[in-house]
């Protein structure tokens, strides 16, 4: 049992080592994020081959020791391309989830704690957004803004925050009825400080568990959007775009569409495992 001085860090460690799911999930996610950071910082240098350089190997070559994921029709190394594209999906999903989390937490917590007009307004507005299929909305916005990774991000940001706001609101409602909030009021603490010091920290943990799984969801949606061609940045690689570009080779050179699809799947699964385990850990911490 690891014992750490700081009780808050101790709590985080306990959550992460709660069960096999969290441990495995954490390892996988850590590896993926580390890979993304390394590639983002060092660029092409750390990769075995230049991802856009053509003819580094024979075209459509099957996986081998030199080219673990094979080569595509232009002779580019698929493995390097996939690795190079890692920061894109990771970056987009972290930003979308991060911003949605923040916006949602602030709006939802205030609405839940204060109630009244703000609460009603938030609830009705999010109702409207929920009523529209998310993907359709994202695609529409993306089409209006034009292709590109940042435009994708904006489109997703607009539709991604409502679930966080609802989640935060629900948790804030629960927290608002706890005696320690009343005790804070009786201590002369104003509403703003109660929100920031007491409500927000106490709604975080369940939201973090949800956010972790959600990162996987953004990866899928973003990969889907880039599959549809909305994020084209040729010749730079994008996972979803690679699947779309290579899907015709499913029979003749299956490694081409399958490896990017597989990688997308692994990333989503990794975050889902971690998030799922965290959800159980948070529940257990709440009861115990």
Partner 1 sequence: MSEGLRLLQVENLVVYFDVGGTFSVPLVTKRTTYVKAVDGVSMDVGVGETVAVVGESGCGKSTLARAVLGLVESKRGSIRIRGQDRAAFKHSKDRFRIIQMVFQDPDSSLDPTMKVKDTVSEPLVGLSSMNRTGREKKAVEVLNAVGLDDEFLDRLPRQLSGGQKQRVNIARAIVTEPSLVILDEPTSALDASVQAQILNLLLDLQEKYSLSYLIITHNISVAEYLSDRTYVMYAGKILEHGPTNAVINEPRHPYTIALIASAPVPDPKERNLLKVEIVGEVPSVINPPPGCRFHPRCPYAEQKCSNQEPILDPISPERFAACHFIGKTAKT
Mark 204-226 as b/e (b = at least 16 C-beta within 10 Å).
bbbbbbbbbbbbbbbbbbbbbbb
* Given 3, 179, 234, 251, the residue binding partner 1 (CB under 8 A): 179
Q: Which stretch binds partner 1 (CB under 8 A): 17-25, 55-63, 72-80, 185-193?
A: 185-193
CA quadruple 12, 14, 17, 20: dihedral positive or negative? negative
Minimal distance in Å, beta carbon 279 to partner 1? Answer: 18
**1 makes contact with partner 1 (CB under 8 A):** no
- CA–chain centroid gap for 103, Å, is 15
Q: Site for partner 1 (CB under 8 A): how many residues?
A: 25
Residue span 186-225 as binding mask against partner 1, x where in contact by CB under 8 A, dash where not: xxxxx------xx--xx-----------------------
Residue 85 near residue 242, CB atoms below 8 Å: yes
Please list, in sequence order, all residues whose beta carbon lies within 8 angstroms of the beta carbon of residue 103, skipping any fewer than 6 positions away.
Answer: 161, 164, 165
Angle between helix 200-227 and helix 162-176 axes, rounded to 10 deg: 170
125 binds partner 1 (CB under 8 A): no
Give 126 or 226: the residue with its C-beta nearer to partner 1.
126
**Smallest distance from partner 1 to CB 211, Å:** 18
DSSP 77: B
Closest by CA position to 108, among listed 51, 59, 169, 48: 169
| 180 lines the binding site for partner 1 (CB under 8 A) | yes
Q: Could you tell me the CA-to-CA distances from 196 to 12, 177, 183 in Å, in that order?
A: 20, 16, 15
Stretch that binds partner 1, among 105-113, 117-125, 208-216, 243-251 (CB under 8 A): 117-125
Each residue 246-275 as x (binds partner 1 by CB under 8 A) or -, in order, gives ------------------------------
Tell me which residues in 3-32 interact with partner 1 (CB under 8 A): 7-8, 11
Q: Select 197 or 269, whichever has its Cβ closest to partner 1.
A: 197
* Residues 160, 130: Cα–Cα separation, whole Å: 10
Q: Whose Cβ is closer to partner 1: residue 263's or residue 282's? A: 282
Instruction: Indicate whether 115 belongs to the interface with partner 1 (CB under 8 A).
Output: yes
Nearer residue to partner 1 within complex by CB, 3 or 144: 3
d(CA 81, CA 171): 42
- From the CA atom positions of the chain, what is the Rg in Å? 22
234 part of the interface to partner 1, by CB under 8 A: no
Contact residues for partner 1 (CB under 8 A)?
7-8, 11, 115-117, 119-120, 178-180, 182-190, 197-198, 201-202, 285
């Amino acid at each position: 049992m690891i014992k750490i001085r700081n009780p808050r860090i101790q709590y985080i460690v306990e959550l992460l080592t709660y069960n096999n799911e969290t441990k495995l999930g954490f390892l996988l996610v850590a590896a993926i994020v580390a890979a993304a950071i390394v590639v983002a910082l060092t660029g092409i240098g750390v990769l075995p081959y230049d991802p856009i350089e053509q003819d580094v190997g024979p075209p459509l070559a099957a996986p081998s020791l030199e080219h673990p994921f094979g080569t595509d029709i232009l002779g580019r190394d698929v493995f390097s391309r996939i690795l190079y594209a890692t920061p894109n999906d990771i970056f987009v999903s972290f930003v979308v989830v991060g911003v949605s989390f923040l916006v949602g937490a602030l709006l939802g917590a205030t609405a839940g704690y204060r109630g009244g007009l703000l609460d009603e307004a938030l609830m009705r507005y999010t109702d409207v957004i929920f009523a529209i299929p998310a993907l359709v909305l994202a695609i529409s916005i993306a089409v209006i803004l034009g292709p590109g990774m940042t435009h994708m991000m904006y489109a997703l940001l607009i539709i991604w925050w409502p679930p966080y706001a609802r989640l935060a609101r629900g948790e804030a409602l629960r927290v608002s009825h706890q005696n320690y909030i009343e005790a804070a009021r009786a201590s002369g603490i104003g509403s703003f400080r109660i929100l920031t010091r007491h409500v927000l920290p106490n709604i975080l943990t369940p939201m973090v568990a949800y956010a972790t799984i959600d990162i996987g969801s953004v990866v899928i949606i973003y990969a889907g959007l880039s599959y549809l061609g909305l994020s084209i940045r040729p010749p730079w690689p994008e996972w979803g775009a690679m699947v779309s570009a290579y899907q015709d080779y499913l029979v003749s050179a299956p490694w081409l569409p399958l490896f990017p699809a597989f990688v997308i799947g692994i990333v989503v699964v990794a975050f889902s495992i971690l998030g799922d385990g965290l959800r159980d850990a948070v529940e257990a911490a709440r009861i115990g």
